[in-house]
């Protein structure tokens, strides 16, 4: 499972989630399908920790919102929950691979 946590853009990247608030998770199948659908950029790997800042989160959300057919996709809906949680807290996301 790939666990996502909320992290302010200005905070340094911690080695572990520690006291960060969990935003949600994606399984490998869902992550792979989102990459195939060209929603998650190709440089992100399911098995490697990574971080998304506010700007990228906004870009990902805009990509989805510009294509109404994507909004009904269950994989996309899972990602949207993560993106909206970050936007509501004006935060970035950091993903830790299990």
pLDDT at 75 over 90: yes
**Which helix (DSSP H) or strand (DSSP E) does residue 30 occupy?**
helix 28-36
CA gyration radius, the chain = 13
β-partners of residue 13 are: none
Alpha-carbon gap, residue 15 to 6, rounded angstroms: 14
Structural domains in the chain, sorted by start: 2-97 (3.40.1760)
Q: What pTM value is reported for the model? A: 0.93
Whether the predicted pLDDT of 71 surpasses 90: no
pLDDT digits (tens, 9 = 90+) for 8-49: 999 999 988 988 999 999 999 999 999 999 999 999 999 999
Distance from C-alpha of 17 to C-alpha of 65, rounded to nearest angstrom: 29
pLDDT at residue 23, as a whole number: 97
**pLDDT number for residue 16:** 87
């Amino acid at each position: 499972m790939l666990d996502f946590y909320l992290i302010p853009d200005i905070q340094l990247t911690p080695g572990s989630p520690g006291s960060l608030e969990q935003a949600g998770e994606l399984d490998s199948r869902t992550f792979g399908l989102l990459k195939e659908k060209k929603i998650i950029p190709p440089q992100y790997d399911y098995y490697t920790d990574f971080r998304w800042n506010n700007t990228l989160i906004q870009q990902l959300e805009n990509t989805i919102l510009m294509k109404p057919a994507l909004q009904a996709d269950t994989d996309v809906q899972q990602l949207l929950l993560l993106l909206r949680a970050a936007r509501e807290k004006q935060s970035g996301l950091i993903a830790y691979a299990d």
